[in-house]
Amino acid sequence: EVQLVESGGGLVQPGRSLRLSCAASGFTFDGYAMHWVRQPPGKGLEWVSGISWNSGPLGYADSVRGRFTISRDNAKNSLFLQMNSLRADDTAFYYCAKGRGDCRNTNCYFDYWGQGTLVTVSS
Amino acid sequence: DIQMTQSPSTLSASVGDRVTITCRASQSINIWLAWYQQKPGEAPKLLIYKASTLETGVPSRFSGSGSGTEFTLTISSLQPDDFATYYCQQYNTFWTFGQGTRVEIK
């Protein structure tokens, strides 16, 4: 059974940093691209960033480019999101999602999602 | 950037109703469209990919159609478990979601 479990969320002050993790199991982690998607409480979904199976970046949303960095450790079946210079509008549930399809050409969708971790940016 | 627009934003329906949700892309995305269902407090769940391919395990009352810029998600006979929010997502150029359609009990 595929499982994705996010951690690392919490309350953080504007301008500070936070690192999210996603522990994956139930599939061959190093065979798939992975993504981060966020959702402000009560609002819609926004793709944040993606990374290919061999750590090649698939891109960042304009709203986070230059502040967030995606990475992965295939030996530990883990995905990460380093978030710097956090702002109030980064407040959201952050989901990790597994890609299926040809993610290198962005022709991939997300077949499994974690339950999310809440990041609250507030003073 | 490709924008995705769903309509309606909210839909009131009864059990047994046929329900259709529309998703329009700001430019052609071929058939690179997925649909997700999300219930309160839960992660999104994949329903349909490549515009019309049903994900394994998803009930056959769900169907998708369309290509280019206009797509639809249809639920042929709404069931109690289907009251949720539905999102379309384009994956032709990066990834963009529609704003969501909430299906509520009439």
Residue of A nearest to B93 (CA): A106
Is B1 at the interface with chain A, CB within 8 A?
yes
Chain A residues in contact with B32 (beta carbon < 8 A):
107
Is B91 at the interface with chain A, CB within 8 A?
yes
One DSSP character per residue, chain B reads ---EEEE-SEEEE-TT--EEEEEEESS--TT-EEEEEE-TTS--EEEEETTTEEPTT--TTEEEEEETTEEEEEESS--GGG-SEEEEEE-SSS-EE---EEEEE-
Asked if B94 lies within 8 A of A59 by C-beta distance, the reply is yes
Residue of A nearest to B3 (CA): A46
The two tokens of residue A30 are 């190093």
> For A106, which of B43, B93, B100 is closest by C-beta distance?
B93
What are the pLDDT digits (tens) for B23-44? 999 999 999 999 999 999 999 9
Would you place residue A103 in the very low, low, confident or very high pLDDT band (cuts 50, 70, 90)? confident
Rounded to 10 degrees, the C-alpha dihedral B43/B48/B49/B51 comes to -130
What are the pLDDT digits (tens) for B39-58? 999 999 999 999 999 999 99
Residue of B nearest to A95 (CA): B43
AA identity, residue B102: R
How close is the nearest chain A Cα to the Cα of B25, in Å?
Answer: 16
The total number of residues written for chain A in this structure: 123
Would you place residue A101 in the very low, low, confident or very high pLDDT band (cuts 50, 70, 90)? confident
